[in-house]
Structure 1
Amino acid sequence: MDQITVERLDTRACGVCEGCEAPIPRVLPGEVINLVEGAARIATPSEYRVSAPCRHYKTCGGCALQHASDKFVADWKRDVILRGLAAQGVEAEVRPTLTSPANSRRRATFHGKRTKKGVQVGFYGRASETLVDTPDCLLVDPIISGARPAMEALTRAICSRTSTLSLSVTASAAGPDIAVVGEAQLDRKLIELLGSLAGEYDLARLSYNGEVIATLRRPEQAFGAARVMPPPGAFLQATSPGEAALAECVAKAVGDAAKVVDLFCGAGTFALRLASGAAVHGVEAERSLIDALDHGWRHAQGLQTVTTEVRDLFRQPLLEDELARFDAVVLDPPRAGAAAQVARIAEAHVPRISYVSCSPVTFARDARVLTAAGYRLEWVQPVDQFRWSAHIELAAGFALTPQ
Structure 2
Amino acid sequence: MTLTITRITAAGDGMAEDAGPFPRTLPGEEVDVVDGTARLLTPSPTRVKPPCRHFKSCGGCAMQHADDGFVADWKTSVIATGLAARGIETDIRPILTSPPQSRRRAALHGKRTKSGAMVGFHGRASDVLIETPDCQLLDPAIIAALPVLEQLTVIAASRKAELELVVALSENGIDLDMRNCKPLDPRVIGEVSALAEQHRFARIAWDGEVIGLRAPPIQTFGQARVAPPPGAFLQATLHGQNMLMQAVAEAVGGAKHVADLFAGCGTFSLPAAETAEVWALEGEASLIAALDQGWRQATGLKKVTADTRDLFRRPVLPSELSKTDAVIIDPPRAGAEAQTIELAKSEVPRIAAVSCNPVTFARDADILIKGGYRLDWVQPVDQFRWSSHVELAAQFTRAHMA
TM above 0.5, one fold? yes
Residue pair 2:202, 2:216 contacting (<8 A) in 1 also = yes
1:193 CA drift (Å): 2.6
Partner of 2:171: 173
- Runs of 5+ unmatched residues, structure 2: none
Partner of 1:218: 216
- Runs of 5+ unmatched residues, structure 1: none
Return the match for 1:271 from 269, 273, 277.
269
Deviations 1:288-344 (A, max 9, x none): 100100011001111000001100000100011002220100000001111111110
Partner of 2:4: 5
The 3-state SS of whatever aligns with 1:6 is: strand
Partner of 1:108: 106
Q: Which moved more, 1:350-359 or 1:193-202?
A: 193-202
1:402 CA drift (Å): 1.2
Following the alignment from structure 1 to structure 2, what is the Cα–Cα distance between the partners of residues 389 and 77? Answer: 10
User: What is the 5 A alignment of 1:329-348?
Assistant: 329-348=327-346
Partner of 1:308: 306
Deviations 1:130-174 (A, max 9, x none): 100111111111221121121011012222432211111101121
1:247 CA drift (Å): 0.4
The 3-state SS of whatever aligns with 2:92 is: coil
Partner of 1:16: 15
Partner of 1:96: 94
Deviations 1:53-112 (A, max 9, x none): 001111000100000101110110001111110100111000111000001111011111
The 3-state SS of whatever aligns with 2:120 is: strand
Partner of 2:192: 194
Return the match for 2:293 from 292, 295, 301.
295
Following the alignment from structure 1 to structure 2, what is the Cα–Cα distance between the partners of residues 244 and 201? Answer: 28
User: What is the 5 A alignment of 1:320-359?
Assistant: 320-359=318-357
The 3-state SS of whatever aligns with 2:47 is: coil
Following the alignment from structure 1 to structure 2, what is the Cα–Cα distance between the partners of residues 19 and 318? Answer: 45
Following the alignment from structure 2 to structure 1, what is the Cα–Cα distance between the partners of residues 179 and 158? Answer: 14
User: What is the 5 A alignment of 1:26-105?
Assistant: 26-105=24-103
1:192 CA drift (Å): 2.7
Partner of 2:372: 374
Following the alignment from structure 2 to structure 1, what is the Cα–Cα distance between the partners of residues 144 and 168? Answer: 12
The 3-state SS of whatever aligns with 2:22 is: coil
Return the match for 1:365 from 360, 363, 366.
363
Following the alignment from structure 1 to structure 2, what is the Cα–Cα distance between the partners of residues 61 and 117? Answer: 24
Following the alignment from structure 1 to structure 2, what is the Cα–Cα distance between the partners of residues 63 and 252? Answer: 31
One-letter amino acid matched to 1:154: L
Indicate whether 1:130 and 2:150 are aligned. Answer: no
Following the alignment from structure 2 to structure 1, what is the Cα–Cα distance between the partners of residues 333 and 175? Answer: 25
Following the alignment from structure 1 to structure 2, what is the Cα–Cα distance between the partners of residues 294 and 158? Answer: 32
The 3-state SS of whatever aligns with 1:103 is: coil
Following the alignment from structure 1 to structure 2, what is the Cα–Cα distance between the partners of residues 160 and 373? Answer: 53
The 3-state SS of whatever aligns with 1:330 is: strand
Structure 1 vs Structure 2: percent identity of aligned residues?
A: 54
Following the alignment from structure 2 to structure 1, what is the Cα–Cα distance between the partners of residues 253 and 72? Answer: 27
Partner of 1:250: 248
Return the match for 2:383 from 382, 385, 393.
385
Deviations 1:170-217 (A, max 9, x none): 011211111101331012123233223222322110100000012101
Deviations 1:35-70 (A, max 9, x none): 123211111111111000001111000100000101
The 3-state SS of whatever aligns with 2:108 is: strand
Partner of 2:257: 259
Q: Which moved more, 1:22-31 or 1:153-162?
A: 153-162
For the aligned residue pairs, the C-alpha RMSD in angstroms reads 1.1
Following the alignment from structure 1 to structure 2, what is the Cα–Cα distance between the partners of residues 243 and 106? Answer: 11
Following the alignment from structure 1 to structure 2, what is the Cα–Cα distance between the partners of residues 263 and 182? Answer: 30
One-letter amino acid matched to 2:39: R
Following the alignment from structure 1 to structure 2, what is the Cα–Cα distance between the partners of residues 160 and 328? Answer: 49
Following the alignment from structure 1 to structure 2, what is the Cα–Cα distance between the partners of residues 386 and 312? Answer: 28
Following the alignment from structure 2 to structure 1, what is the Cα–Cα distance between the partners of residues 211 and 115? Answer: 28
Residue pair 2:181, 2:206 contacting (<8 A) in 1 also = no
Following the alignment from structure 1 to structure 2, what is the Cα–Cα distance between the partners of residues 200 and 163? Answer: 27
TM-score, normalised by the number of residues in structure 2: 0.98
1:16 CA drift (Å): 1.7
The 3-state SS of whatever aligns with 1:294 is: helix
Following the alignment from structure 1 to structure 2, what is the Cα–Cα distance between the partners of residues 389 and 127? Answer: 14
Following the alignment from structure 1 to structure 2, what is the Cα–Cα distance between the partners of residues 126 and 171? Answer: 26
The 3-state SS of whatever aligns with 2:61 is: coil
Partner of 2:154: 156
Partner of 1:237: 235
Indicate whether 1:207 and 2:205 are aligned. Answer: yes
Following the alignment from structure 1 to structure 2, what is the Cα–Cα distance between the partners of residues 183 and 240? Answer: 29
Q: Which moved more, 1:192-201 or 1:26-35?
A: 192-201
Following the alignment from structure 2 to structure 1, what is the Cα–Cα distance between the partners of residues 317 and 200? Answer: 47
Following the alignment from structure 1 to structure 2, what is the Cα–Cα distance between the partners of residues 160 and 268? Answer: 36
One-letter amino acid matched to 2:25: V
The 3-state SS of whatever aligns with 2:393 is: strand
